[in-house]
């Protein structure tokens, strides 16, 4: 019982500290923004990497997320946890980046054919087995898999985010699961 009460207090004090930090950022406090960045940049980068399957693009989008966060922080009203809101902002920016750069990306790196580029292969040395396999997935299957299985979005939300039918989202998810299972069994 004492541990549960201590954990509840820690969680409450963490949430109030986060609220205070966000309030300072909303007032234009750059030092508070640097703190917010330090607390969340790794999580944002990890999501971008899963969605984009390329270290350089993930770095670019992570930077863009925090630039946009500086401008959009006033839109955060505290109706959800900050991390949930930040996650949504990150997902939307990463998907917009893919849409904007898709034609160029396909010329430079054939994502659908190889599933990976040189930087992703190098990056895989530091990843665990499943993360390596997720990076190899075809783009649409990877996006749906990450958004649904890893990030917890419903297929209805994914279909809206990616501009596809709900059935297509489900189909891409099952395609990703099948490929991952095959690759995992063959490793």
* Contact between 56 and 116 (Cβ < 8 Å): no
Res 104 pLDDT > 80 = no
Give 73-102 pLDDT, tens digit per residue. 999 988 888 998 999 899 999 988 887 876
Tens of pLDDT, residues 115-162: 444 444 444 444 466 778 888 888 889 989 988 888 888 999 998 888
More confident: 107 or 21: 21
Q: Could you tell me the CA-to-CA distances from 30 to 20, 37, 70, 87 in Å, in that order? A: 14, 10, 9, 21
pLDDT tens for 20-59 read: 999 999 999 999 999 999 999 999 999 999 888 889 999 9
Question: Dihedral through CA 109, CA 87, CA 131, CA 170, nearest 10?
Answer: -80
- Say whether pTM exceeds 0.95: no
Domains of the chain: 1-108 (1.10.1740.10), 113-187 (1.10.10.10)
pLDDT of residue 115: 46
């Amino acid at each position: 019982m004492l541990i549960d009460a201590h954990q509840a207090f820690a969680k409450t004090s963490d949430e109030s500290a986060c609220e205070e930090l966000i309030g300072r950022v909303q007032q234009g406090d750059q030092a508070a923004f640097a703190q917010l960045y330090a607390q969340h940049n790794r999580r944002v980068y990890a999501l971008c990497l899963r969605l984009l399957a390329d270290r350089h693009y993930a770095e670019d989008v992570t930077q863009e997320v925090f630039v946009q966060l500086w401008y959009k922080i006033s839109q955060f009203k505290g109706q959800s946890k900050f991390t949930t809101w930040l996650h949504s902002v990150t997902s939307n920016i990463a998907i917009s980046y893919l849409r904007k750069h898709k034609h160029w990306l396909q010329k430079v790196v054939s994502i659908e054919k190889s599933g990976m580029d040189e930087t992703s292969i190098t990056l895989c040395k530091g990843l665990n087995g499943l993360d390596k396999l997720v990076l190899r997935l075809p783009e649409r299957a990877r996006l749906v898999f990450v958004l649904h299985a890893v990030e917890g979005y419903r297929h209805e939300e994914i279909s809206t985010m990616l501009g596809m039918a709900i059935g297509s989202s489900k189909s891409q998810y099952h395609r990703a699961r099948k490929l991952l299972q095959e690759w995992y069994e063959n490793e």
